[in-house]
A and B are shown apart, each in its own frame.
Chain A
Amino acid sequence: MIRLISLIAALIWSAAAHADQMRLAVTTSFHNSGLADILLPEIQADLGLQVQLLVVGTGQALRLGRAGDVDAILVHSRAAEEAFVAEGYGTHRREIMYNDFVLVGPAGDPAAVGPQSAIGNALRRIAETQAIFVSRGDDSGTHRRELSLWASAGIGIDTADPAWYRAAGAGMGATLNVASGMGGYVLTDRASWLNFANKDGLTILFQGDPALFNQYAYLPVDPAQHAHVKHRLAQKLEGWLVSPKAQAMIGAYEIGGQRLFTPNATDADAPAEG
């Protein structure tokens, strides 16, 4: 029994022994882009800071931030982020970069979304033809955006027939797997799509509408709510992410010759104290 307790103690100790670590909840779409694999080693080298990523949906990321289980979050759902700051869980919201969403579907394009002029028309075509559409259905940033696009297209998606509107309830990659298995349409961020390995008959059918703009923001968890959060490290990371070096790295990141993210951090929304 004593050995058991000392073993447990050793495990706890080994988890706590490293200095300068912080936890950052990021969205699956950000992680699947592969950008994290480029940035994290540089952060480690420049700041001596080990960033532990928790890859979850925006809904869960905000929940982890509210509970104080992470030190900062990097998500893309503006209304939810502003509510997070307004409720006092985040100190502020700092825009870092953006990418865009694309509508992916079977190469044959049975609903003919390709020639449409706006995303609203494309979605209406899918609803009219009742072509299979796979939704994230997991309260993530991408899911929330999809819902708002349906709403602005004037389609009550809550009452849609599950025969064509399929809520996968899963992360971006898993949802793309479902869409590829069913030959369905799906809304995805460009980064996840380019990095996805199981494309299998799916292709980008609609893109470029300004309504598909996808802003990522960084929100440190407020130490006034959770005294234990590593706010100093979270600020350090923010400073690095908005630095010219990091912004240039984000802008230079490409997959297959395509640029994924456009850096757009400005000093305008920097926190007042720093």
Chain B
Amino acid sequence: MGEIWQGLTAAFRLIVTFDADLVEITLRSLQVTLTAVAIACAIALPLGAWLAIQRFRYRRTVIALLNALMGLPPVVVGLIVYLFLSRQGPFGALNLIFTPTAMIIAQVIIVTPLIASIAHQAIRELWADYHDLLISLNATKRQRMATLIWDARRALMTAALAGFGRAIGEVGAVMIVGGNIDHVSRILTTAIALETSKGNFALALGLGFVLIGLAIAVNLMIHGLGRTEREGTW
């Protein structure tokens, strides 16, 4: 129990002193994860909408596959991305291994199925309501998708936040492809793993509390910007 208390005080001390290393790795965590979630959304939201309105032969299979990929093990993703980006791998010449870009790539792969699955679910329900209207307006497929994405935006925000939650707390993949290099690819989760391995539980826990606080802050901010949960606008 003493360790948890020490962790809280360590977190408090790191934050009030505005510790330079903490600020750096926190910003890098945010940079990597927000970029990954933005890219994943750009892929997953249209994909979810398209799966909702398009009927094709293996649709069920594709949806089931997408749902299954929500549980993609990050360590495996990390290893595969490593093998592709390693200097011996097919994309080795890009020299991306052990950079934040490599970490972004791994996180995009991890969160895209998650966001696409939730997005598909939300849009499918909306499509049931909008189907007749959009068909009778003779809207093109692109217009239908755009309308559905816009009108389902609150549910899609939840999808994006779920993706953010999975990516910001992820350590297995970014450890392998990022290498946890100080001042280059160290982020909150890999720093926590490192401090734990040194037996510095208080500092590790302190960083953990900072990470949890960060996730809460981002969620509150997005909800604030999206003006959800307010009278008349839900």
Contact = CB atoms under 8 A, between A and B. Distances in A.
Interface of A: 1, 4, 7-8, 11-12, 15-16, 23, 28, 32, 52-55, 67-69, 170-174, 176-177, 180, 195-199, 226, 228
Given A4-B39, A69-B97, A55 B198 contact: no
A8 B100 CA distance: 10
Nearest to A25: B179
B86 interface: yes
Contacts of B97: 69
A69 B96 CA distance: 10
Contacts of B200: 197
B199 A173 contact: yes
B228 interface: no
Nearest to A40: B182
B196 A174 contact: yes
B42 interface: yes
B199 A177 contact: yes
21 contacts: A7-B35, A8-B104, A15-B99, A15-B100, A23-B98, A52-B181, A53-B182, A54-B180, A68-B88, A69-B86, A172-B197, A173-B197, A173-B198, A195-B198, A197-B198, A197-B199, A198-B199, A198-B201, A199-B199, A226-B87, A228-B87
Contact of A32 (B99, B198, B201): B198
Nearest to A36: B182
A1 B41 CA distance: 12
B41 to A, nearest CB: 10
Contact of A177 (B92, B100, B196): B196
A208 to B, nearest CB: 24
Nearest to B82: A69
A132 B97 CA distance: 39
Contacts of B184: 15, 52
B143 interface: no
B198 A69 contact: no
A170 B196 CA distance: 12
B98 A52 contact: yes
Nearest to A221: B87
Nearest to A196: B199
A164 B122 CA distance: 52
B27 to A, nearest CB: 13
A97 B194 CA distance: 24
A195 to B, nearest CB: 7
- 7 smallest CB-CB distances across A and B, nearest first, come from A198-B199, A173-B197, A197-B199, A68-B87, A15-B99, A52-B181, A67-B88
B174 to A, nearest CB: 13
